[in-house]
Amino acid sequence: CADQAMYISKDEGRDCFHFFTEQMQQNAERTANLHAALKLALDSHAFELYFQPIICLTTNKIIRAEVLLRWEHEGKFVSPEEFIPLAESSGLIVDLGHWVRQESMSFLLTLQETSPDIGLSINVSMYEFWSHSLQDNLINSILNIALNLTAEPFPFDMLTIEITESLLMKQHNHLIASLQKLRNMGIKIAVDDFGTGYSSLSYLSHFPIDQIKIDKSFIQNSDHSIKQQALVKAITTLSHALDLNVVAEGVESVEELEFVRTAEIEAVQGFYFYRPMTKASLLRLLD
Ligand code: C2E
Ligand code: MG
Ligand code: MG
Ligand code: MG
């Protein structure tokens, strides 16, 4: 009996070992391949910007679009949820972020010609705020892009920068000063995916921010959960008391939209209205 048990466990053990190494090896290979491909992608123009409209619920008009990075690799789109962390761990995020801002700010000037009321909201990785010098680089690079794009004053007031909640846990004076510099230029600061990090609500009053974007996990199926609704309403009330704008992310159904309206959230973004789209599609839509 003992022999048999040993035999079975050895056999199972061998199977498991086999299964895990294969899976792990595949993952490691994919990561290594993507890492190498990412570096080449930036030089070979394999990235593209998509835009997802954000709608004001008072006027029912598009007020802004969030810029979302797309990467087509070997004929398929790789999710930013997969490649952004790779770009962050390899340090490529700084160059990639610079490219996103360059393209977005240039497109903003195009938008200004036909739709001067439409702004753009750009995601900036927390890694670009990692050190004092990275923060200074970020601000200087935004100023330089603007100077190179136009001799006129750049419409910074039409730009929003989305940072993540986890950044606010690095409660450093330099970070506060950097965010304040961006705001002094006219740029708005939004806290993205609000509610998913570990920051406390009190951070909202300490940081120079203009807007919070309530994460889609709080919005989705909100019509089914009274507690979730109470939470979203409380976050919204508090944000309004602090003079912050609130955007609901991930609205997919008419029920979710109804709830967002009753919570007095002022703007929404989600597949119910529009999926992320190309530049050309956005221009056609605004037309
Ligand atoms: P995010 O900034 O929170 O962007 C919103 C994400 O939610 C986008 O996913 C968008 O397509 C998705 N979304 C919008 N409405 C709905 C909806 O109704 N239902 C569902 N299920 N999803 C919805 P995407 O484009 O895959 O981007 C994922 C994340 O990757 C972004 O989350 C952001 O954190 C990051 N990311 C994307 N572009 C950039 C970039 O240029 N720079 C940086 N640093 N991060 C980026
Ligand atoms: Mg975002
Ligand atoms: Mg978000
Ligand atoms: Mg997100």
Q: Mean pLDDT for each 10-residue chunk of the chain (287 residues)? A: 39 51 82 87 92 97 98 93 93 96 98 97 95 95 98 98 86 88 98 83 87 95 86 94 97 96 97 98 97
Q: Is the CB of 65 under 6 A from ligand 1?
A: no
- Model pLDDT, residue 7: 36
> What pLDDT, in 10s, does the model give residues 227-285?
999 999 999 999 999 999 999 999 999 999 999 999 999 999 999 999 999 999 999 99
Which residue, by CA, sits nearest to atom 30 of ligand 1?
A: 80
How much distance in Å is there from the Cα of 42 to the middle of ligand 2? 21
- Model pLDDT, residue 24: 83
Go through 174-184 and write b for each residue having 16 or more CB atoms within 10 A of its CB, e for each that does not: ebeebbebbbe
Q: Is the CB of 100 under 6 A from ligand 1?
A: yes
What pTM does this model have? 0.91
- Model pLDDT, residue 19: 57
- Model pLDDT, residue 18: 52
How much distance in Å is there from the Cα of 39 to the middle of ligand 2? 23
Q: Is the CB of 182 under 6 A from ligand 1?
A: no
How much distance in Å is there from the Cα of 216 to the middle of ligand 4? 8
Of 42, 49, 68, 93, the one to substitute when testing ligand 1's pocket (max ligand atoms within 8 A of C-beta) is 68
- Model pLDDT, residue 221: 83
How much distance in Å is there from the Cα of 95 to the middle of ligand 4? 21
**Regarding beta strands 47-56 and 267-268, do their DSSP bridges make them parallel or antiparallel, or are they unpaired?**
antiparallel
Asked whether the beta carbons of 267 and 119 are under 8 A apart, the reply is: no
- Planar angle of CA 126, 193, 158, nearest 5 degrees: 75
Give the ligand 1 atom nearest the CA of 124: 44
Asked whether the beta carbons of 149 and 106 are under 8 A apart, the reply is: yes
Q: Is the CB of 123 under 6 A from ligand 1?
A: yes
